[in-house]
């Protein structure tokens, strides 16, 4: 699926994520995931940090931060994020239009598993992160259960997912990008991560 042009699927996904009951039930039923982890991660962000959020989806991670930059490949998602944040940018996560060491914080929630090359995306996010800055996010990973792996494979065949790895792969990608102080938090088929440059 081309997330840039799949407006109906993008809108449906965002609608579900933006509604607490639907997102909680969906995350638990599909991925055995406590979505409260995602909300706690977002709430813990520094509200004054210059933050890049990609893919931003509907802007859930914007909070009240006036220095939040929401970027996404999907025009539909950017339109939906407009009511949550002021700075919007259509951008490719593999080729970000920012100089090195721009952001205090880069966040990427629920997007890496949709990419063909998550490691390259993490390297690009690290490039635009200032020294001492933080990268955090969540992603679906393989290897948590047969059921979850089968769902991931089915979504890959449908073109919704790219090449999600295991939690070990995620750690390797973060390390290879030059990040340290890596923390992985697992909940069902989802792994949350935090790392520093």
Q: What is the pLDDT of residues 132-146, one digit of tens each?
A: 999 999 999 999 999
CATH superfamily of the 7-196 domain? Vaccinia Virus protein VP39 (3.40.50.150)
**What is the C-alpha to C-alpha distance for residues 49 and 6, in angstroms, rounded to an integer?**
32
pLDDT tens-place string over residues 69-112: 999 988 887 887 887 888 899 999 999 999 999 999 999 999 99
List the 68-72 sheet strands across, edge first: 87-90, 68-72, 51-53, 103-109, 129-140, 190-196, 180-187
The structure's pTM equals 0.90
pLDDT recorded at residue 8: 56
Mean pLDDT of the chain: 90
Per domain, the residue ranges of the chain are 7-196
d(CA 170, CA 193): 9
pLDDT in tens, 33-59: 999 999 899 999 999 999 999 999 878
- Collapsing DSSP to helix, strand or coil, 70 comes out as strand
Q: What's the pLDDT score for residue 14?
A: 65
């Amino acid at each position: 699926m081309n997330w840039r042009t799949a407006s109906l699927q993008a809108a449906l996904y965002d609608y579900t994520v933006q509604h607490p009951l639907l997102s909680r039930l969906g995350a638990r039923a599909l991925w055995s995931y406590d979505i409260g982890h995602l909300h706690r991660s977002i709430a813990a962000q520094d509200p004054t940090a210059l933050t890049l959020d990609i893919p931003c989806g509907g802007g859930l991670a914007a909070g009240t931060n006036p220095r939040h930059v929401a970027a996404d490949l999907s025009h539909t998602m950017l339109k939906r994020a407009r009511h949550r944040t002021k700075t919007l940018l259509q951008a490719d996560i593999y080729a970000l239009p920012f100089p090195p060491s721009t952001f205090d914080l880069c966040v990427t929630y629920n997007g890496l598993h949709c990419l063909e090359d998550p490691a390259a995306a993490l390297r690009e996010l690290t490039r635009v992160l200032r020294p001492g800055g933080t990268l955090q996010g969540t992603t679906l990973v393989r290897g948590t259960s047969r059921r979850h792996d089968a769902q991931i494979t089915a979504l890959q065949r449908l073109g919704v997912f790219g090449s999600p790895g295991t939690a070990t792969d995620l750690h390797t990608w973060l390390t290879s990008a030059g990040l340290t102080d890596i923390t992985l938090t697992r909940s069902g088929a989802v792994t949350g991560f935090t790392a520093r440059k």
